[in-house]
Amino acid sequence: MRYAYTLIVRPLTTTEMYMIDRNCEYLGIPRRILMENAGREVAKYIIENYPDKRRITVICGLGDNGGDGAVAARYLHEHDREVKLIILGRIEDSRSEIARENFKIAKLIGVETYEITTPFELYSIMDIIVTWPDIIVDAILGTGIRGALRDLQYNAIRLINMSKALKICVDVPSGLDPDTGTVRDVAVRGDVTITMHRPKIGLLNRDAEKYVGKLIIVDIGIPREAEHVVGPGDLIYLKWQRRRESRKGEHGRIIIVGGSDEFAGAPALAALTAFRLGVDIVTVIAPRTAAHDIRSQTPNLIVIPVEGKYFTEEHVDLVYQYCTRAEVVLIGPGISTRDQTMNFVAELFKRLVESGKKIIVDADGIKALARHELARYVKKNVIVTPHLREYSLLIGDNPPNIGNPWRRGEEIARQVRERCDGGTILLKGNIDVITDGERWKINMTGNPSMTVGGTGDILSGAVAALCTKCEDVFHAACIGAFIVGLAGDVTARELGYHVLPTDILENIPRIMMKLLDEYKEIERVLHEPSIRILRSLDLY
């Protein structure tokens, strides 16, 4: 592989790039600016490196990659190159608003533009691709490839490869899988690939070299902080859609081990939050007196009592057997700090870690890990959600007191890397830090109204629920902190500092419906006769 310079940056998957792109917008950097910068960099490379090549054909798909190409066409036109812009589809059919805008601008300022909808129309102008240009800019697909190519895309790529013109690919050669570097149908055989921000992992596959050509990495204004903030882009890691034929239990089974003679509300709040985040079956295991109180609060929960007012070492075998039935186990809400209970938590935790099950440890459960010096047991698939004092007990050191949240996140990641073994720590605070020692992120949702007791239980329940929706527990911890903090922010806007934890809980569905545009998802799974009835009743 030929690089423009020594490659020292970590390559990205398309999922990571999508997340970063969306989180830039969350930080106040609009995607239209990134598109503008990407297109300008492509044009700049051509202008600086090929001053004698005057005739340029830019071939665009209807997505954001095509929008990059349209911006490049505009800049090349302004630098007196003879540019022809071919769009594979009608401009109005593009689902990307910013790509549509850039197609229209290019056309408005006089770039010769063709909107092509059929292979026949494409072959009628094939000379513009095959024989006329000195340079072809490929902006058909980029990272947007999904399965087999459509006829128009397939034929456009074949014509590009027939041409003797220099071929410059925008971000990824069209047809090449950006994550694997493999080609399913056909791909552009580029001379140069100009990729944005970081190389996509498939570009570095040796088999991809004949398609990538010379790899150029350009800066389009994405700050490194966009990779370390939790934002709406992180929700791409959620498996949220459901089949119409879904059955009970298919969308998650969680067990919550918590409660004591004094504290029955904590495990109930965590369990109700898990339900609100789409888990099918949530079971609370609690000492008998707490179990009775939880049952009296709501009929929604399955509650399994164990004998006594507190958990003891005698309960380990029984509770462990119940835990084997679940995907995710949350330990700690309201569990108390009695010596026998601490011993129970430590032994149950060690057994569950060895089983490979996803585990979340919160509240007094963290104190048990600290007391038994089990930080090294915080391995992959384990999440611990401490506040500052609990973090210090578990890690054996205070988190660094650094004003810059980005530097603080990096330093906390270093501490966790040294003392844990690949598990995820979600350090709660004014700005949350989530890290597994290698990766780290900060979460900037949440506000002082959330100091009310019970919000930590809502968070642990949310994280447990999201562990059933995410393959990687690190992503579940990040998304959980973001969603609960955002629900708290909505609640504070409505109620000021007069907040109950259940107020935050009830706002979680509103947040999810908006963030995931869940209205479309529900429309997809409703049966048509039901939709007609709902419309007739003005309920749709």
Report pLDDT for 145.
Answer: 84
Phi and psi angles of residue 305, each rounded to the nearest 5 degrees, phi first: -85, 150
Which strand (E) or helix (H) includes residue 41? helix 31-49
CA of residue 161 relative to chain centroid, distance = 35
* Range 401-410, long-range pairs (CB < 8 A, 24+ positions): 405/431, 405/433, 405/442, 405/444, 406/225, 406/228, 406/442, 408/433, 408/442, 409/228, 409/433, 409/435, 409/440, 409/441, 409/442, 410/440
> How far is residue 166's CA from residue 170's CA, in Å, rounded to a whole number?
13
**Residue 300 CB: number of other CB atoms within 10 A?**
10
Cα(396)–Cα(415) distance, integer angstroms? 10
List helix spans (H) across 163-241. 209-212
HSE at residue 437, side-chain half, CA atoms within 13 A, is: 19
All domains of the chain, ordered by start, with CATH? 2-227 (3.40.50.10260), 232-524 (3.40.1190.20)
Residue 8 has pLDDT above 80, yes or no: no
0.85 cut: is pTM over it?
yes
Smallest CA-to-CA distance from 503 within 282, 283, 252, 272 is with 272
Q: For residue range 207-240, what is the model confidence (pLDDT) as tens digits?
A: 999 999 999 999 999 999 999 999 999 999 999 9
pLDDT in tens, 486-538: 999 999 999 999 999 999 999 999 999 999 999 888 989 999 999 999 999 99
Give the angle subtended at the CA of 60 by the CAs of 55 and 63, to the nearest 5°: 155
Backbone angles phi, psi at 427, to 5 degrees: -85, 115
The contacts of residue 105 (CB under 8 Å, 6+ apart) are 70, 74
Quick one: three-class SS letters along 287-316? Answer: EHHHHHHHHHHCCCCEEEEECCCCCCHHHH
CA 363, 365, 366, 367 dihedral sign is positive
Which tens digits make up the pLDDT trace of 332-391?
Answer: 999 999 999 999 999 999 999 999 999 999 999 999 999 999 999 999 999 999 999 999
